[in-house]
């Protein structure tokens, strides 16, 4: 599917007749993960940035965690370095790590900060390494039941959200790169979906929004593109073992988030202009919504 025709949508349009939502979300934190495959089109950068600023103007506290997998791979290709993934994670040698750091914090993060700041002095970029925001340990990986060495890939073990909170208190929009300091002092490459989920939990966020390059979680991918609209944590847990690489960390991140206090996690098609506003406002988000097993009364509770 190509990128649909751009349509100007504002929070006000999406809020028409929907004011209880706005009240409920006032002052609440929303973590938005902008993924590499959904961010290759520059016009989507612009509408993404507009949406994030609209959320801010509507009284929410948006935090962006960005990916950049395709951009890292393109740079590795240019440098004649190997691009290899195992179990959905990039095999990260020390040389690869230099490129990951350079592309994520030096290029992708800067572009997003610039796009948001076209609207005012909102965005401040930081890396998960900064002020011990994200701490990781080396992540083990298995392929066909055998352990494989994927190098400097981290699993986040703790998040110190104080710096991000301080920025939010100052009225800024933090833009965070998924890189962590290791407990062993190394620097680790972290999957951006899992980084967004860990930060959403640490911030006590109301929502986690994952933008990707498909309409949501397909029930029987690659055979069908029927989107699963809503899942409870337990239902998702049951599906995880059958998910293929790209969706696995995303859905694992959604599961961890809703099991640790985030009220809803959404997986949305980031190729649709203004996907963020469409996902956050209104009573029915497009894409896939994951909810905790017990949902507060009045939210169409399941289980």
Ligand X SMILES: Nc1ncnc2c1ncn2[C@@H]1O[C@H](COP(=O)(O)OP(=O)(O)O)[C@@H](O)[C@H]1O
Cβ atoms within 10 Å, residue 237: 15
Shortest Å distance, C-beta 100 to ligand X2W: 5
Residue of 5, 16, 19, 244 that binds ligand X (CB under 6 A): 244
Query: Is beta strand 288-291 parallel, antiparallel or unpaired with respect to 264-269?
Result: antiparallel
Subset of residues 179 to 238 that bind ligand X2W, contact rule: CB under 6 A: 189, 191-192
Subset of residues 35 to 54 that bind ligand X2W, contact rule: CB under 6 A: 35-36
* Conformational region of residue 144, where left means phi above 0, alpha means psi within -120 to 50, and beta covers everything else: left
Partners of residue 231 on adjacent β-strands: 290
Residue of 90, 181, 256, 271 that binds ligand X2W (CB under 6 A): 90
Binding mask 92-131 for ligand X2W (x = CB under 6 A): --------x-------------------------------
Quote the CA–CA distance of 71 and 51 in Å, as a whole number: 23
Decide if residue 3 touches ligand X (CB under 6 A): no
Q: Are 85 and 53 in contact (CB under 8 A)?
A: no
Residue of 128, 151, 178, 292 that binds ligand X2W (CB under 6 A): 178
Subset of residues 165 to 194 that bind ligand X, contact rule: CB under 6 A: 193
Quote the CA–CA distance of 48 and 11 in Å, as a whole number: 13
Binding site partner of 68, from ligand X2W, ligand X, none, Cβ cut-off 5-8 A by kind: ligand X2W
SS3 148: strand
Choices 68-76, 112-120, 220-228, 286-294 (CB under 6 A): range interacting with ligand X2W = 68-76
Residue of 68, 125, 279, 292 that binds ligand X2W (CB under 6 A): 68
> How buried is residue 107: exposed, middle or buried, by Cβ count under 10 Å (0-12/13-18/19+)?
middle
Residue of 189, 212, 285, 289 that binds ligand X (CB under 6 A): 212
CA dihedral 20, 45, 200, 249 (to 10 degrees): 120
Residue of 38, 195, 203, 262 that binds ligand X (CB under 6 A): 38
Measured from the CB atom, the residue of 159 and 267 that comes closer to ligand X is 267
Size of the site for ligand X (CB under 6 A): 17
Shortest Å distance, C-beta 251 to ligand X: 8
SS3 156: strand
Cβ atoms within 10 Å, residue 97: 19
CA dihedral 70, 198, 288, 221 (to 10 degrees): 50
- Asked if residue 69 belongs to a known ligand binding site, the reply is yes
Q: Are 231 and 289 in contact (CB under 8 A)?
A: yes
- Asked if residue 27 belongs to a known ligand binding site, the reply is no
Measured from the CB atom, the residue of 161 and 209 that comes closer to ligand X is 209
Residue of 50, 58, 62, 67 that binds ligand X2W (CB under 6 A): 67
Binding-site entries for substrate = 68-69, 90, 189
């Amino acid at each position: 599917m190509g990128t649909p025709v751009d349509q100007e949508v504002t929070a006000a349009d999406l809020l028409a007749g929907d004011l209880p939502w706005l009240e409920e979300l006032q002052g609440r934190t929303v973590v938005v993960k902008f993924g590499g495959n959904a961010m290759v089109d520059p016009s989507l950068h612009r509408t993404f940035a507009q949406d994030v600023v609209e959320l801010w103007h509507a009284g929410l506290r948006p935090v962006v965690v960005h990916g950049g997998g395709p951009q890292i791979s393109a740079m590795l290709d240019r440098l004649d370095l190997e691009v290899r993934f195992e179990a959905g994670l990039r095999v990260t040698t020390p040389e690869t790590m230099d490129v990951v750091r350079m592309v994520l914090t030096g290029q992708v993060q800067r572009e997003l900060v610039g796009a948001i700041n076209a609207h005012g002095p909102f965005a401040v970029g930081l890396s998960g390494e900064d002020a011990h925001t994200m701490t990781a340990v080396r992540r083990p990986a298995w392929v066909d039941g055998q352990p494989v060495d994927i190098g400097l890939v981290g699993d986040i073990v703790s998040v110190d959200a104080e710096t991000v909170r301080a920025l939010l208190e100052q009225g800024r929009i933090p833009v965070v790169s998924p890189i962590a300091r290791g407990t062993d002092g190394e620097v680790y490459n972290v999957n951006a979906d899992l980084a967004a989920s860990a930060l959403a939990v640490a911030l006590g966020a109301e929502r986690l929004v994952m933008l990707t390059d498909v309409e949501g979680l397909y029930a029987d991918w690659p055979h069908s593109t029927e989107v699963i609209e809503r899942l409870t944590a337990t239902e998702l847990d049951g599906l995880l073992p059958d998910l293929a690489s790209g969706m696995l960390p995303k859905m694992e991140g959604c599961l961890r988030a809703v099991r640790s206090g985030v009220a809803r996690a959404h997986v949305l098609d980031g190729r649709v202009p203004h996907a963020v506003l469409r996902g956050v406002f209104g009573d029915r988000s497009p894409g896939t919504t994951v909810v905790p097993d017990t949902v507060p009364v009045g939210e169409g509770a399941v289980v």
